[in-house]
Amino acid sequence: MSAAIIGAGVIGAGWGARFALMGWDVSIYDPSNGARERFEAVYATACESLPALFEHTLPEPGKITWCDSVADTVANARWIQESAPEQLAIKYKVFAEIQAHCPEDAVLASSTSGFMPSELQKGALRPEQIIVAHPFNPVYLLPLAELVGDENTIARAKPIIEEIGMHPLHIKQEIEAHIADRFLEAVWREALWLVNDGIATTEEIDNAIRYGFGIRWAQMGLFETYRLAGGDEGMHHFIEQFGPTLEFPWTKLMDVPELTPELIKRIADQSDAQSGAYSIRDLERVRDANLVSMIRALKPRQYGAGALMNKIDERLVNSSASYHDDQLVTVHRTIPVDWMDYNGHMNESRYGQVFSDAADTVLRLCGADEAYVASGGSFFTVDCHIQYRNETLPGETVRCLTVIAPLDGKKLKLSHEMRRASDETVLSTAEQLLVHVDMSTRKSSLPPSHIASALTELREGQA
């Protein structure tokens, strides 16, 4: 699988990093000086954050190749992502060159924020091949891609977008600026008026969003949130109650304040006062760490982007036993930033979680899975001794190797060793004792023969 990135600025670099980290080979073309260094910085940042969204390790990253021409970049691509500047003349030139050299069945997607497919396709060799796949910055973390264009091309595009961990939002009717940016434009216009009229500063507007509705939007969006605002009577009641206020002359959404030098200076000065103490790099780091933590927070309740990440985890989980140094691999994952404590390393409670996940892998492999628990049997942990040997840092990939001791009646003893995957340093060890339980009495009991023999088989496999 190979993706071609044409234009590796803020957006193209983000696409390239996402494709590569999801296991695709990536070829890149960008004519500007310094594009490669800028891409490498984005890729390094993405390596720290994207893998941390998941509970299992991602496939090996794909190979990244820099090309000197569009022709070489697209020759073998299955997906081509155009992220050149937002000017039709440039995009037309780029599409003509791409289509002269790319496979006819490749998806050719544009990152354009504003143009519709019918505009992009004018004069094209194969118009239907060109669709819009509009992402959000940072592309390697935010999982939305708005897809607009030919139905057949989109049918081929959707599974690829899903494969790289994104939600393909198919917009059935083309419209300038698609859906999400129209929405942002409305908010942006209102914010400009609030600053222009001296009602609020840039910081006050940001606070209105981040302390309030911004947190709601990330998990329930607009309509589901408003449904709750209508109380038990729901959406109908909400619209009856608040609908008439739309007639009030509150907003100036159809107008834009004139962007005079004074207004631009006011906004820039307020923004400097608000955020000037931090570099763009500092702010990007904070943004990415917060995004990882927020998306991860949505996983347990299967909401929004969290539910999407859970689906990818299901794809990544190993359904059969795998071995490393002749030992059973029970956890292989990247340490997420929200597991870090004030010392800058993984909090001790998370070691317990890693070893608990390791035990769950053993139990799943021997058939004591969720269905078995529902049928009335389970294992409870009754003792666990953990040794912390070395610091475990966020962004590191770790592997947990587990030795299964002979099953003694109702008892199962597991010895775990958590190692840093890059150099095999032992970070922590644990000795864990589990007891088989009859869930109807919640008392210890002998495991059924199929579980006992599956455990014996696993133990012999590691020997």
Ligand X SMILES: NC(=O)c1ccc[n+]([C@@H]2O[C@H](COP(=O)([O-])OP(=O)(O)OC[C@H]3O[C@@H](n4cnc5c(N)ncnc54)[C@H](O)[C@@H]3O)[C@@H](O)[C@H]2O)c1
**Is the preceding omega at residue 138 within 30 degrees of 0, hence cis?**
yes
Cβ–Cβ < 8 Å for 5, 29? yes
Q: Report the site for ligand X in 83-102 (rule: CB under 6 A).
A: 83-86, 90, 94
Per CB under 6 A, 9 contacts ligand X:
yes
Of 10-18, 152-160, 349-357, 440-448, the segment contacting ligand X by CB under 6 A is: 10-18
What is the closest distance, in whole angstroms, from the C-beta atom of residue 443 to ligand X in the complex?
Answer: 59
Identify which range of 77-85, 122-130, 194-202, 230-238 contacts ligand X by CB under 6 A: 77-85
Instruction: Give the other-Cβ count within 10 Å of 283's Cβ.
Output: 11
Nearest approach, Cβ of residue 58 and ligand X (Å): 24
Neighbouring CB atoms inside 10 A of 295's CB total 23
Window of 129-137, 262-270, 291-299, 444-452 that interacts with ligand X by CB under 6 A = 129-137
Task: Tell me the residue number closest to ligand X, measured at CB.
Answer: 9
User: Nearest distance from residue 122's CB to ligand X, in Å?
Assistant: 16
DSSP 81-146: EE---S-HHHHHHHHHHHHHHS-TTSEEEE--SS--HHHHTTT-SSGGGEEEEE--SSTTT--EEE
> What is the C-alpha R_g of the chain?
26
| Minimum distance from residue 379 beta carbon to ligand X (Å) | 48
Entry field: residues in the chain: 463
Between CA 218 and CA 222 the distance in angstroms is: 9
Nearer to ligand X, 75 or 235 (CB): 75
Tell me the C-alpha distance between 125 and 128, whole Å: 9
CB of 450 to ligand X, least distance (A): 53
Contact 319, 77 (CB under 8 A): no
Least distance to ligand X, CB of residue 294, Å:
19
> Does residue 388 sit in helix, strand or coil?
strand
Residue 180 or 294 with smaller CB distance to ligand X: 180
| Among positions 51, 117, 135, 306, the unique one binding ligand X when judged by CB under 6 A | 135
Residue count, binding to ligand X (CB under 6 A): 24
Q: Is residue 69 part of the contact set for ligand X (CB under 6 A)? A: no
- Whose tokens are 């004074």? That residue is 262
Asked if 443 and 378 count as a contact pair (C-beta separation under 8 A), the reply is no
Pick one of 137, 241, 260, 290: the residue that binds ligand X (CB under 6 A). Answer: 137
Q: Quote the Cα angle for 455-461-463, to 5°.
A: 105
Tokens of 54: 């998941």
Options 25-33, 343-351, 402-410, 427-435: segment touching ligand X (CB under 6 A): 25-33
Rounded Cα–Cα distance for residues 157 and 93 (Å): 23
Of 31 and 406, CB closest to ligand X? 31
Two tokens at 183?
A: 């929405």
Q: Select from 1, 10, 75, 297 the one that contacts ligand X (CB under 6 A).
A: 10
Q: Least distance from C-beta 203 to ligand X, angstroms? A: 21
With CB under 6 A as the contact rule, which of the stretches 78-86, 182-190, 209-217, 328-336 interacts with ligand X?
78-86
30 near ligand X, judged by CB under 6 A? yes
| Binding stretches for ligand X (CB under 6 A) | 6-12, 29-32, 35, 83-86, 90, 94, 111-113, 134-135, 137
